[in-house]
């Protein structure tokens, strides 16, 4: 796909790569995909997928709930009657009739929306056109779905292995693990982390031959890692900027996104245990410092839960060494992981699960 072109066919660029391009360029607008006479539309705001209220097919949504036996026919009829009598939407009726909680309903809305276009991931041919335009302010959004986790979820469900093989590099290509700034937005499963670790400075052929997962599943995971820019083939130009290219402004942008997450973690835990939360996180930071590189030895916890890193910015207007680059990103992620573990130890597993889910939407570079 040409740099300024967002029109073409999925025969040239697979759907997950297209989604990544839109996310990476922080595009707002509408993506139309046409296969034969069927056309689907996705809306984006700053690279993330949004569900617009006015275009959400609530009648089809209700029918799907019945087909999946999530609700029964009597509840369906009751909901329709209530919406008609009270001149309200079917979604509101589901809540006001106590059929679903608001959080439960929104989870179902997102699942329904995702299921409608997961089949796009297996499309080997389909025309697409992206119209860049700001979304109307008067149009309310039902939900915002983070694009990167969705790409990973979609690739996991792919069944078109011919398409996957067609867009994988040659078996002789050497893969390298990359450290993009958005690494903490992606949650890999243990078997995916296993293959990621095995991919560094290794050829695709060796990866497939030695992988305990088997060739097909390994190919799918490599395809996902390439789609998300987590690995790159040594013979290809890297699509993502590396920290070796980061200016001081870009470095500041990464740290700002990181500190948004740190601040949220502090607010999250302090709601439950009060002012002592700062002491708990300070202890966490002191314990992990010993395991971090020299870049992080002078970091301090601020009263708002953010991490003071002026020394890093002052001494590193750019990061020009590959090893320093990897250590920097690894250090940021280890700090976040340690703070999440502290929440788990202090408040329990349920609080940790909610925190991890919320962190996916916090601190994204804008």
Query: What is the per-residue pLDDT for 137?
Result: 64
145/150 Cα distance (integer angstroms): 7
140/92 Cα distance (integer angstroms): 15
Query: What is the per-residue pLDDT for 322?
Result: 46
- Rounded to an integer, the average pLDDT of 175-191 is 86
Best mean pLDDT range from 276-280, 328-332, 360-364: 276-280
Q: What is the pLDDT of residues 333-351, one digit of tens each?
A: 888 888 999 999 999 988 8
Query: What is the per-residue pLDDT for 133?
Result: 77
Query: Which of 251, 364, 259 has its CA nearest to residue 312?
Result: 251
Q: For residue 245, what are the CA distances in angstroms to 72, 248, 316?
A: 57, 10, 12
**Is the backbone of residue 321 left (phi > 0), alpha (psi -120 to 50) or beta?**
beta
Chain CA centroid to CA 307, Å: 23
Asked if pLDDT for residue 97 goes beyond 50, the answer is yes
**With bands split at pLDDT 50, 70 and 90, how would you rate the model's confidence at 253?**
confident
Q: What is the pLDDT of residues 1-54, one digit of tens each?
A: 444 447 899 999 999 999 999 998 888 889 999 988 788 889 998 899 999 888
Asked if pLDDT for residue 236 goes beyond 60, the answer is no
Across the chain, what does the average pLDDT equal?
Answer: 85
pTM of the model: 0.64
């Amino acid at each position: 796909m040409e740099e300024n072109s967002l029109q073409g066919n999925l025969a040239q660029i697979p759907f997950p790569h297209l989604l990544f391009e839109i996310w990476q360029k922080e595009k707002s607008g509408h993506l139309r995909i046409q296969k034969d006479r069927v056309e689907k539309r996705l809306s984006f705001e700053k690279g993330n997928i949004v569900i617009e209220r006015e275009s959400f097919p609530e009648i089809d949504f209700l029918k799907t709930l019945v087909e999946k036996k999530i609700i029964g026919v009597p509840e369906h009829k009751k909901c329709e009657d209530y919406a008609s009598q009270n001149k309200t939407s079917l979604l509101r009726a589901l809540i006001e009739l106590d059929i679903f909680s608001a959080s439960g309903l929104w989870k179902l809305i997102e699942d329904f929306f995702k299921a409608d276009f997961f089949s796009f991931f297996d499309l080997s041919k389909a025309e697409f056109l992206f119209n860049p335009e700001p979304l109307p302010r008067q149009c309310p959004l039902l939900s915002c779905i983070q694009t990167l986790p969705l790409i990973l979820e979609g690739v996991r469900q792919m069944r078109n292995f011919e398409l996957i093989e067609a867009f994988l590099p040659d078996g002789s290509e050497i893969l390298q693990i990359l450290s993009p700034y958005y690494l903490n937005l992606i949650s890999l499963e243990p078997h995916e982390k296993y293959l990621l670790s095995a991919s560094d400075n290794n050829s695709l052929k060796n990866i497939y031959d030695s992988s305990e997962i088997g060739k097909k599943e390994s190919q799918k995971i490599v395809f996902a890692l390439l789609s998300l820019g987590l690995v790159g083939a040594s013979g290809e130009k890297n699509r993502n900027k590396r920290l070796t290219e980061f200016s001081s402004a870009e470095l500041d942008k990464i740290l700002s996104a990181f500190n948004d997450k740190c601040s949220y973690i502090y607010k999250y835990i302090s709601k439950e245990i009060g002012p002592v939360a700062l002491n708990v996180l300070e202890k966490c930071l002191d314990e992990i410092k010993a395991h971090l590189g020299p870049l992080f030895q002078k970091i301090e916890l601020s009263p708002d839960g953010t991490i003071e890193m002026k020394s890093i910015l002052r001494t590193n207007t750019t990061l020009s060494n590959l090893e320093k680059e990897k250590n920097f990103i690894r250090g940021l992620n280890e700090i976040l992981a340690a703070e999440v573990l502290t929440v788990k130890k202090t408040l329990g597993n349920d609080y940790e699960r909610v925190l991890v889910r919320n962190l996916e939407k916090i601190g994204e570079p804008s």
